[in-house]
Amino acid sequence: MNKELLKNSNLSQVESYKISLDYGVVDLALAGDNYQLDIFGSTVNICSKINSSSLAPKNKIIIGNNFYRILKAFSNIINKYNFINNGEFKVTENIGYPTYTIERSNTLSQNDYTNNRQSIMIKNQPSIFEDFIGNKNKNREGFFLHKKKKNKRIIIVDDDKDVLFTYRSFLKDYDYHIACFTDPNLTLNYVEELSNFDDLLVILDIRMKGLNGFQLHQRIKSIDPTIKILFVTALDILDELLTIVPGISKGQIMRKPVDKKIFTNTVSNMLS
């Protein structure tokens, strides 16, 4: 950037900068008199907030957890760069979001690099939060946890406990790990504590107190955009949903009351 400034504008070099990167869902819009393409949404907001916070060091690149989890799957990147855990950026008072500063690994000794990678791996191991809510909050209203470990996981969110019981009974004969919530905020806490998001489906009602289904969908997608979402609603708003929720298809929306066979087949197809 400094080379371009000097070459084209003969301007002073930039001595201090901050760069933040993350991966997630963004929306597009035409903005300004010239109708230039602009992006907005929760991912952009998080990057902006991280950049303006004390976590972002000057003259460094800082990335969010979504982007970090993608990068660490590529050995050629992991071997060339060192990812230093900066701690959690506070998205809300109760929800934190891990961030990492990137440095070239050749600036560190091999031992330092190995130790750094090990410390990051330790910090990202599965937490005991799931066991905690299963053992200590058994009487929490509207929460049910099927504790047997399964490969494919389902989270069901509805403020009607009878609906949760019905959906769970539909799926009881399948090899799924099932968690049910009446509180959308508890759902977010639970998702944040998961160690990975492979084979995860979240079934959402739309009309709920606190966070509605649209807001919860956006928050979940900001945690990990690969999480599968199925809306189940009594509202006749299929066309509106397809318009206002980016990336959703007709197969991800079901009308209440649900048919058991259609419901189980839809869940199975989305997790296959």
Domains in the chain with CATH codes: 2-123 (no CATH), 129-271 (3.40.50.2300)
pLDDT value of residue 201:
95
As a whole number of angstroms, the distance between CA 164 and CA 169 comes to 8
Instruction: Tell me if 83 sits within 8 A of 120, measured CB to CB.
Output: yes
Dihedral angle computed from the Cα positions of residues 157, 161, 167 and 250, in that order, rounded to the nearest 10 degrees: -40
CA–CA distance from 98 to each of 84, 85, 179, 190 (Å)?
11, 7, 24, 15
Instruction: Tell me if 209 sits within 8 A of 158, measured CB to CB.
Output: no
Query: What integer is the mean pLDDT of 238-264?
Result: 77
pLDDT tens per residue across span 172-191: 888 899 999 998 888 988 99
Name the residue among 48, 59, 129 with its Cα closest to residue 89: 48
Flag whether the pTM goes above 0.75. no
pLDDT tens per residue across span 102-143: 888 764 444 444 444 444 333 343 332 333 333 334 334 444
